[in-house]
Structure 1
């Protein structure tokens, strides 16, 4: 009887895996995967990242400051843990909470007493203060930095290399952390990515977590629930018969 159970269990798992793969392949054949994959790789390489004028600087961000004709003031600076930039020969600048234009104006104001008509440019080299987590069945799970205060769910999934063929696209979870009651929302990613239905294409903010569950695990559980119940009944009957023989 034990050998029978082992054989049936192995058969169930193999069947579930096979059906899961077939369903996932059909799902992905609905669109031109090569085209979307190329776009996703572009996001990861940073080719489509724009130096946003409205981006609010925070701890860890890295900026490049150029002062025309004054190399001693020009350079690359990181917003420190205290929210400040250590600017040479001048006081530290509280950059956290500023946009580029505000930081530029502050530097010009500080230089006016020692530089005649200073010309200053500010650009953002590294975005490090805002990020989201993309986990589960995506090709490149991990921590992703944002170039703005929000990022659309679809764009975040593309940055993570798109879902794998085993992703349960209809059960993607977006979790917004909260010290009291975290907000958890289930999203149909299949509609967003492959059907162009953007109603659920919500905006993510820094700290949000996106979890793409596995289609395989759910199928195995479903098969086990359906098939193990009658098998268990047969095993119980056989055991009772054996005891009375």
Structure 2
């Protein structure tokens, strides 16, 4: 007599494995306070809630950054004569002294400048800042402006001439320069003359900025300190870019737009790197570029922005389910190299943890439970 097969029973999990799964499930549940447990020996970074107060603090920080540019404000000092400058000197009433004299090129000049100086009439300032002139000898004119150098020469000539009238002008400006680097058409040296050189003119002399340039990340290095110039923000807040006056030795660098990307990862529809627009990108815009939070696996309560500031990291957190959260996200401005991370919801975390612990067992258990 045939016997019926015994009823199929659902598999029973071994007790140690069941305990491990319970532990994994508890650990994978979303933390309602947004504070993640750090590994042993690491320092936990408490997320900073993105609120209206934080937006006000960021706006105040941007205004302070614009005020820091006051170091470049103020009238430009007269051009100071230096080594390599070529001078035109006329002593009125004494044509024998005003006769053209070919300058002797100094060793500090480039080969092209030496060739030009050897054919231009004038008096060359030596590497030590001294000028040789008949009846006056060697004069230390380095660091003086045209008026001061002319008065010094007239005082020296007054020993042999009666009330000499001297006109001194700079023919070739070679001693003072600035350096322009980065995303401009013609990077390199730009000489300074007796007209003030402001930032916009310096960029125009370098051929202008390339389409790949990030106008919000222009750096000026002076005296070992670096200052950031955000041209769009400066204009937006009523600033005047022509008030940023450069001086000898300044280094101007225009960053590339490729360096100003923001990275979106985690539970977004399309994880990707998003380029900033003229140095600006809000959290809402970045999420929109990535297709938003995944409706299946993302936890809208846990949207994080990770930012590196010097040697420290900052973590900001947004709960998109709170009233007004989207309006706040629209005004929270991201910085270059920020990482936006959307955490998974509790069910997604549980499934992933289970799959890592017992690969392939979850589908088998589901099939067994349904009698397949």
Q: Indicate the TM-score class for this superposition, using the shorter chain for normalisation.
A: 0.5 to 0.7
Q: CA deviation at 1:151?
A: 3.2
Aligned to 2:251: 209
- Taking a change above 3 Å as real, the CA distance of residues 201 and 110 of structure 1, as seen in their structure-2 partners, is closer
* Of 33, 47, 57, the match for 2:81: 57
- Taking a change above 3 Å as real, the CA distance of residues 200 and 158 of structure 1, as seen in their structure-2 partners, is closer
* Of 186, 210, 235, the match for 1:140: 186
TM-score, normalised relative to structure 2: 0.41
* Structural mapping, 1:104-119, within 5 Å: 104-119=150-165
Asked if 2 retains the 8 angstrom alpha-carbon contact of 1:154 and 1:192, the reply is no
* Structural mapping, 1:61-210, within 5 Å: 61-74=85-98, 75=100, 76-148=122-194, 151-177=197-223, 182-191=224-233, 197-198=239-240, 201-210=243-252
- Taking a change above 3 Å as real, the CA distance of residues 118 and 53 of structure 1, as seen in their structure-2 partners, is farther
Q: CA deviation at 1:100?
A: 1.4
Asked if 2 retains the 8 angstrom alpha-carbon contact of 1:60 and 1:79, the reply is yes
Distance 1:70 1:118 in 2: 9
Distance 1:117 1:196 in 2: 52
SS of 2:156's equivalent in the other structure is helix
- Taking a change above 3 Å as real, the CA distance of residues 105 and 227 of structure 1, as seen in their structure-2 partners, is closer
Query: In proportion to residue count, which structure has more helix?
Result: 1
SS of 2:240's equivalent in the other structure is coil
Asked if 2 retains the 8 angstrom alpha-carbon contact of 1:58 and 1:83, the reply is yes
- Taking a change above 3 Å as real, the CA distance of residues 139 and 190 of structure 1, as seen in their structure-2 partners, is farther
Distance 2:201 2:237 in 1: 15
Cα deviations across residues 199-236 of structure 1 (Å, max 9, x unaligned)? 795332211111101224545x85999449xxxxxxxx
- Taking a change above 3 Å as real, the CA distance of residues 62 and 191 of structure 1, as seen in their structure-2 partners, is farther
Unaligned runs of 5+ in 2: 1-75, 101-121, 274-355, 360-372
Asked if 2 retains the 8 angstrom alpha-carbon contact of 1:63 and 1:126, the reply is yes
Structure number with bigger Rg: 2
Unaligned runs of 5+ in 1: 1-51, 229-236, 241-245
Aligned to 1:23: none
TM-score, normalised relative to structure 1: 0.59
Asked if 2 retains the 8 angstrom alpha-carbon contact of 1:188 and 1:200, the reply is no
Distance 2:77 2:97 in 1: 22
Asked if 1 retains the 8 angstrom alpha-carbon contact of 2:235 and 2:241, the reply is no
Distance 2:247 2:195 in 1: 6
SS of 1:60's equivalent in the other structure is coil
- Taking a change above 3 Å as real, the CA distance of residues 183 and 148 of structure 1, as seen in their structure-2 partners, is farther
Distance 2:235 2:213 in 1: 13
Distance 2:237 2:177 in 1: 27
Distance 1:85 1:126 in 2: 15
Q: State the Cα RMSD in Å.
A: 3.5
